């Protein structure tokens, strides 16, 4: 499943960027409230994609990918 590997890799790289943004916000700007939510939603995208890759059915896969998408929307907001 090559397409999932590409999506997973992009989510992984995005999570790294989110962690760096979190570090910047907390260390340089002393911002803690929103940055905590940003790190939660931004890093959970890849975690949900990883769960989807281990899905036991098509329905399970679809559910996990949907959750990952919702986390993308939350992070974007």
Q: Where are the alpha helices (DSSP H) in 28-57?
A: 33-53
40 to 12, 14, 15, 22: CA distances (angstroms): 14, 13, 10, 10
Cα dihedral 20, 25, 26, 29 sign: positive
* pLDDT for the residue 5: 81
* pLDDT for the residue 77: 94
In the chain the domains, ranked by start, together with CATH numbers, are 2-76 (1.20.1440.60)
pLDDT tens-digit profile of 39-65?
999 999 999 999 999 999 999 999 999
* pLDDT for the residue 3: 54
């Amino acid at each position: 499943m090559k397409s999932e590997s590409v999506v997973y890799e992009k989510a992984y790289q995005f999570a790294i960027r989110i962690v760096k943004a979190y570090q910047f916000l907390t260390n340089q700007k002393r911002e803690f409230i929103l940055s905590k939510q940003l790190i939660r939603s931004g890093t959970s995208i890849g975690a949900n994609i990883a769960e989807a890759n281990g899905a036991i059915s098509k329905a399970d896969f679809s559910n996990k990918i949907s959750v990952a998408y919702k986390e993308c929307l939350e992070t974007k907001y």
